[in-house]
Structure 1
Amino acid sequence: MDIIDLFQIVRLGEIDSFINQIAKADIDQVNEYNQNLLHESVANDRIRIGTLLIKKGINLDQKDVSGQTSLHHAALHNSYELAEKIIEYGGNLSIADSYGNEPLWTAVFNARGKYDIVKLYLKNGANPNHKNNSDRSPFDFAIQIKDPELIELLENYN
């Protein structure tokens, strides 16, 4: 099956087509952005497809062209269920993207009052004091935006 077709099947959430094609496909194939099918599942909230890919052993830590893994994308798209499954199967919360941001930074930056993914990442060992390439940590950002709930949450894991 052509790479574009399988990514399109995931994007559209065509679960029956996906199940029919996945047995004969390379689940670690990447698109032009170096994203794998798990990135695509997360971005399009395809929980069932993402879960199947995880159970089949897809590379959980594949970096896209920006160095972001599926855990970065889960934070960006507020995909708690897939983030939880990725962590359960061994996804690495310490991989930094090309800006030096680990998935927790992405979760904090995109939280906007929704702290479930931040809590999940902290509970599983993410470092609130990890400095990115600009010498800023998720904790520094929470202070900058003056979010008392987020500050308290991150302080509890310092």
Structure 2
Amino acid sequence: MTTPTTSPMHAAVMASDLSTLQDLLARGESPDVSDHLGFTPLHLAAQQWSVPAAEALLGAGASVDPENTFGNTPLFVAVFNSKGRGELIELLRTHGADALHANRSGQTPVGLARLIANYNVAQWFADLPT
């Protein structure tokens, strides 16, 4: 099976085109399609900080913890791109995202949150032990 470089789902998320994303999902397109680096549309929604796209993908049954080739889950990507915002982090955690999932470098989303010093991202993980 050949993995696409990008898919229409990826393109819709990157363009913040929620209408097209919802149309693709309604036509039965997989919310878990991955590109050549293992990025799913949910990874890209986390990267673009698109809460509406993430909600649509999760509502369509997207896997919450897929790994890209670096071992990063959408929650890790959301933490990295949060700039202190928490809506997407909370959304992913509410859907069962694993805050302790280590990537290929051994870093977890909660660990990354606690390393970020210029924003208080760790507040979104205050329920977890240090």
What is the deviation of 1:147? 6.2
Deviations 1:44-95 (A, max 9, x none): 0101111111111111111111111000000111111111011011000111
Q: Does residue 69 in structure 1 map to residue 40 in structure 2?
A: yes
CA–CA distance in 2 between the matches of 1:157 and 1:119?
A: 13
Aligned residues: 127
CA contact (8 A) 1:74 1:82 kept: yes
Pairing 1:8-87 to 2, within 5 Å after superposition: 33=5, 35-87=6-58
What is the deviation of 1:142? 1.1
CA–CA distance in 2 between the matches of 1:127 and 1:111?
A: 17
CA–CA distance in 1 between the matches of 2:78 and 2:84?
A: 11
CA–CA distance in 2 between the matches of 1:156 and 1:49?
A: 37
CA contact (8 A) 2:113 2:122 kept: yes
The one-letter amino acid paired with 1:69 is T
The TM-score, its normalising length taken from structure 2, stands at 0.90
CA–CA distance in 2 between the matches of 1:62 and 1:44?
A: 17
After superposition, the CA RMSD in angstroms is: 1.7
CA–CA distance in 2 between the matches of 1:146 and 1:103?
A: 21
The 4+ residue runs of structure 1 with deviation greater than 4 A are none
CA contact (8 A) 1:128 1:139 kept: yes
Query: Residue in 2 aligned with 1:100?
Result: 71
**Relative contact order (C-alpha < 8 Å, sep 6+): which is higher?**
2
The one-letter amino acid paired with 1:101 is N
Pairing 1:111-150 to 2, within 5 Å after superposition: 111-146=82-117, 149-150=120-121
CA contact (8 A) 1:122 1:157 kept: no
Q: Does the residue aligned with 1:72 lie in a helix, a strand or coil? A: helix
Fraction of identical pairs, as percent: 27
Give ranges in structure 2 of 5+ residues lacking alignment: none
Give ranges in structure 1 of 5+ residues lacking alignment: 1-29
CA contact (8 A) 2:83 2:119 kept: no
The structure number with the bigger radius of gyration is 1
